[in-house]
Amino acid sequence: MEPDQSRNRVVVCGGGVIGVCTAYFLSKRGAAVTLVEKSSVACAASGKAGGFLALDWCDGGPVQNLARASFELHRSLAAELNGPESYGYRALTTLGLTVTEPRERSDPVTPSGSKVSGLPEWVDGPAKGIRVIGSDQTTAQVHPQLFTRTLLSKAVNDYGLEVVIGKVQQVDTVGGRVQAVVLEGGQAMEADSVVLALGPWSGKFGLVSSLFGVYGLKAHSIVLEPKQPDAITAHALFLSFIPRDGGLPMDPEVYPRPTGEVYICGMSSREEVPDDPEQIRGKPESIKVLKEVARAVSTQLDEGEARVRAEQACFLPCTDDGIPVIGELPDVKGCYVATGHSCWGILNGPATGAAMAELVLDGRAGIVDLTRFSPSRFVSSRKK
């Protein structure tokens, strides 16, 4: 028999995909969950990411089991929540290819000529080196903002999740154990457990930053709406883009969405994370490059042929060792952290959330072993 969790009060701090997935699985298990978000749900990377999912691209690394479990969870969630209609879940064929930028902006894009085997017809720029790097069995996509908000709505409407808009100021403890979360302005919410899922803002929160560092990798993206969206097939493109000025190749990514949009991202750099996610703006020069990428890939994605729906940037949460941090803080009983997923946050959100729910409610995670991700790993490194 399942233990009665009705008295287990959990405050989840952070309304991105990791926080929402955690709140979803906790509330589904019967915990009394409050989600605290400073701005709006999925307002940062979880709303501006690509939403690309891969079964086996993390194989051979520390995230392998987490990624595989999460890819399968995405499938089951899509079946449960009508993902294809609710948030654009679909399988993809994923291609790698090289594209060269036209010599001048005024020059017409030279079509690739005769039909290249495996290349979608809408990719009519000078492409070469085409190879399949993911099948419809191993790669898929979601619209990340719609995915995050669909999970949130389900948890609110069916499982009693409460959402509070406010800035978390501190976590109060008594005798080394969580007692409450205090918001800016003084509101205190009593809690048996607290989950800090603050993304790149984790590095600005004292309990976290005193143990390990989290920094932000700023990534740019544009969202285009082509005139003939039905002509854009379900092919994700991972590019080697060669600039016309002879500079180093770049590696932008192109994700058509079933909503009729085409998302293009790239141009990343490590920068200071602003306090307010609403203050994040893309660099004009980076946005310009992404528009050149779009033009080089397809005449249908040229700015004159496609409407620009968004020019944006977001910060991906990264750790110094490149591995997510998922687990209980070593010196604060009942205080958990989940951050540092870098570019794989949307993929790994479901398994992270499910594992956190198990860890909080059962004392251990069953869906995936979290030992490698424990924040305790930083204790020994700081003593050296």
Do 330 and 271 belong to one domain? no
> What pLDDT sits at residue 116?
55
The last residue of one of the domains, among 271, 300, 319, is 319
Q: What is the pLDDT along the chain (384 residues), one digit of tens a residue?
A: 344 445 599 999 999 999 999 999 999 999 999 999 998 888 888 889 999 999 999 999 999 999 999 999 999 999 999 999 999 999 999 999 999 887 554 554 444 444 456 799 999 988 989 999 999 999 999 999 999 999 999 999 999 999 999 999 999 999 999 999 999 999 999 999 999 999 999 988 988 999 999 999 999 999 999 999 999 999 999 999 988 777 788 999 999 999 999 999 998 889 898 888 888 888 999 999 999 999 999 999 998 899 999 999 999 999 999 999 999 999 899 999 999 999 999 999 999 999 999 999 999 999 999 999 999 999 865 544
Residue 39 has what pLDDT?
A: 85
Number of domains in the chain: 2
Strand partners, 168: 183
Looking at the fold, whether 344 and 356 belong to one and the same domain comes out as yes
Phi-psi region for residue 322, left (φ > 0), alpha (ψ -120 to 50) or beta? left
CATH code, domain carrying 128: 3.30.9
Question: Residue 146 CA to chain centroid, in angstroms?
Answer: 12
The CB-based long-range contact list for 377-384 (8 Å cut-off, 24+ gap) reads 378/211, 378/212, 378/325, 379/211, 379/330, 382/211
Residues 185 and 269 in one domain: no
**Residues 189 and 297 placed together within one structural domain of the fold:** no
Is residue 90 assigned to a domain?
no
Is residue 92 included in any domain, yes or no? no
Closest Cα partner for 55 from 36, 40, 69? 69
User: Dihedral through CA 164, CA 168, CA 173, CA 179, nearest 10?
Assistant: 0
Same domain, 328 and 348: yes
Residues 327 and 312 grouped into a single domain: no
Length of the chain: 384
Asked if 41 and 150 sit in the same domain, the reply is: yes
User: How high is the pLDDT of residue 227?
Assistant: 94
Question: Of 295, 319, 343, which residue sits at a domain end?
Answer: 319
Residue 54: CATH number of its domain: 3.50.50.60
- In which domain, by residue range, is 306 found? 97-134+216-319
In a domain, 2, yes or no: no
What is the C-alpha to C-alpha distance for residues 110 and 166, in angstroms, rounded to an integer? Answer: 52
Q: 150 and 296 share a domain?
A: no
Are residues 126 and 185 both part of a single domain? no
